[in-house]
Amino acid sequence: MGNMGAAILFVLVRRLLHETRGALLDLGASPDYKDSQSLTPLYHTVLVEGDPSCCEMLLRAHATISCHDENSWHEIHQACRYGHVQHLEHLLFYGADMGVQNASGNTALHICAVYKQEHCARVLVVRGANKEVKNYRSQTPFQVAIIAGNFELAELIKNHKETDIGKLLN
Ligand SMILES: *[C@@H]1O[C@H](CO)[C@@H](O)[C@H](O)[C@H]1NC(C)=O
């Protein structure tokens, strides 16, 4: 098969997958169906960076946002851990709580600070994430960034002003 054929096939398969997913939800499949570890499809798509449109479709079908693993890592923590910005944006648009803490008290912003996810950190501060929340070691996201040696990220967190909130919103 030539390149052209492969490209057409790719587009067709993608469309078919897209329609099938929607169809399952239309047929009444619960978007909150949990696997053996009590994790939802939404959680998995954020974790493995599934197609962002799939993430959005689940959210539109009222998928619950509050699933977490045994260490209280929620969807937004995973999005920030792996720098899945589009998933993060969808989660926030559909009301994900930016203040939620994992079992060590770390918020999504703390996690960006640890894993050097600048793009996600920027999204969080622009959307108004509270920078003063402390983890259970009494560290703010700024302090965590310094400890991790992520100085640019620390600067970004420190320099963000309340008045900047909404600046990048369109
Ligand atoms: C909570 O998040 C921090 C930052 O990523 C991580 O180092 C810590 O291990 C997490 N806590 C648990 C209990 O998983």
| Tens-digit pLDDT profile for residues 80-135 | 999 999 999 999 999 999 999 999 999 999 999 999 999 999 999 999 999 999 99
In tens, the pLDDT along 4-50 reads 766 676 666 666 666 666 777 877 778 888 988 899 999 999 999 99
How remote is the CA of residue 2 from the centroid of ligand 1, in Å?
48
Q: Is residue 59 within a helix (H) or strand (E), and if so which, with residue range?
A: helix 52-60
Question: Using a 6 Å cutoff on CB, does residue 102 contact ligand 1?
Answer: yes
Burial class (CB in 10 A: 0-12, 13-18, 19+), 57: buried
Do residues 102 and 71 touch, judged by C-beta distance below 8 A? yes
Structure tokens at 114: 């640890």
What angle separates helix 151-159 from helix 108-115, to the nearest 10 degrees? 150
In tens, the pLDDT along 94-107 reads 999 999 999 999 99
* Percent of the chain topping pLDDT 70: 83
Mutate to test the pocket of ligand 1, among 81, 100, 106, 140 (most ligand atoms within 8 A of CB): 106
Residue having the nearest C-alpha atom to atom 11 of ligand 1: 104
Question: Using a 6 Å cutoff on CB, does residue 110 contact ligand 1?
Answer: yes
pTM for the complete prediction? 0.83
Mutate to test the pocket of ligand 1, among 71, 78, 101, 135 (most ligand atoms within 8 A of CB): 71
Question: Using a 6 Å cutoff on CB, does residue 71 contact ligand 1?
Answer: yes
How remote is the CA of residue 106 from the centroid of ligand 1, in Å?
7
SS3 117: coil
